[in-house]
Amino acid sequence: MKSTPGALPGATGVPKPRPSFPARLDTGPVAAGVGVTREIANKSMPSSAAGKKSFDSALPVGVGLDSSAVRAAMVRKLAAMGISHSQVLQAMGDVERHRFVDSALVNQAYEDTSLPIGLGQTISKPNVVARMLELLVHNQTLPMGRVLEIGTGCGYQAAVLARLCREVYSIERLKGLHDKARDLLRPLRVPNLHLLFGDGMVGFVEGAPYAGIIAAAGGDAVPRAWTDQLAVGGRLVAPASLGTAGQSLVVIDRTPTGLVQQVLEPVQFVPLKSGIA
């Protein structure tokens, strides 16, 4: 494999070998004794025809027949809302968001709205997903190298990320959602996406350093483990409540001389919680 000029350390042509299976989180105070199971999203695939049939039967007329047109309209709206990165827009247009929401919500899948995904969690608005991805990839040569996502949820953002990165590790603390994401992603066959069940507060040290880290849940601070696991030249994008003003989008770059933090617009994400459940 050739190395890409100007790419991040995590994106070079000599990738660190993948962690061996089963992977296990570093045991820190938060993760002590918490095992992490690692699964590849396309493992033990049923026939895609079977997956498609059961899914399409849940689609109301108008979404199922030509969801690509609905997605194209969503992408036009995202562009009108200020998303300008062509590969991010392309990836948003490629991934079928309706596959990731309950059948009763399918007709809202391409609206700019967050939707419940079970266990009190939500899939972010398309505009927020696209904004965070645009911040993450910023001026990099794509595909990015190895990226860590904290908060797999239903797996939608992970599927979009996988189109922009060489390798994605996505970690979820709720077993029910980890299993749901695995089932939803299986028919999509995403070989560069690895699902992990565990506490993402401690990151996933076996895959570090990361060219990018993106979190879909926010706490009072950005965990130190995340910045420690960021490659030099890498970028972290996460919601966090750093002051009294509520939650904001935070971008942290690891530069050769240290961490550089930007606090951007207010956002509303579910809480980052420790431990597994």
User: What is the set of active-site residues?
Assistant: 124
Smallest CA-to-CA distance from 233 within 167, 156, 136 is with: 136
Interface with ligand SAH (CB under 6 A), residue from 36, 109, 185, 201: 201
225 binds ligand SAH (CB under 6 A): no
Q: What one-character-per-residue DSSP string does 207-235 give? A: GPSEEEEEESEEBSS--HHHHHTEEEEEE
Q: Residues 161, 167, 171, CA angle at the centre, nearest 5°? A: 70
273 binds ligand SAH (CB under 6 A): yes
Query: Which of the ranges 70-78, 137-145, 152-160, 244-252 carries the binding residues for ligand SAH, by CB under 6 A?
Result: 152-160
What is the C-alpha separation between 18 and 40, in angstroms, rounded? 12
CB of 30 within 8 A of CB of 274?
A: yes
208 binds ligand SAH (CB under 6 A): no
121 binds ligand SAH (CB under 6 A): yes
Show the binding pattern over residues 169-188: x = contacts ligand SAH (CB under 6 A), - = does not.
--xxxx--x-----------
Q: Which residues pair with 48 in a beta bridge?
A: none
Nearer residue to ligand SAH within complex by CB, 7 or 171: 171
CB of 133 within 8 A of CB of 161?
A: yes
Q: What one-character-per-residue DSSP string does 66-130 give? A: THHHHHHHHHHHHHHTT---HHHHHHHHHS-GGGGS-GGGGGGTTSS--EEEETTEEEPPHHHHH
Minimum separation from the CB atom of position 255 to ligand SAH (A): 26
Nearer residue to ligand SAH within complex by CB, 7 or 201: 201
In the window 23-82, what residues touch ligand SAH (CB under 6 A)?
none
Both tokens of 215, joined, read 């979190």
Minimum separation from the CB atom of position 240 to ligand SAH (A): 12
Nearer residue to ligand SAH within complex by CB, 165 or 217: 217
124 binds ligand SAH (CB under 6 A): yes
Nearer residue to ligand SAH within complex by CB, 62 or 266: 266
- Give the interface size with ligand SAH as a residue count (CB under 6 A): 25
Minimum separation from the CB atom of position 223 to ligand SAH (A): 8
Interface with ligand SAH (CB under 6 A), residue from 31, 143, 144, 156: 156
167 binds ligand SAH (CB under 6 A): no
Q: Interhelix angle for 86-94 vs 126-137, to 10°? A: 140
247 binds ligand SAH (CB under 6 A): no
216 binds ligand SAH (CB under 6 A): yes
Minimum separation from the CB atom of position 162 to ligand SAH (A): 12
48: helix, strand or coil: helix
Q: Which residues pair with 196 in a beta bridge?
A: 38, 171
- The residues, any chain, with a CB within 8 Å of residue 263's CB and separated by 6 or more, are 242, 248, 249, 250
Contact residues toward ligand SAH (CB under 6 A) are 117, 121-124, 150-151, 153-154, 156-157, 171-174, 177, 199-201, 216-217, 270, 272-274
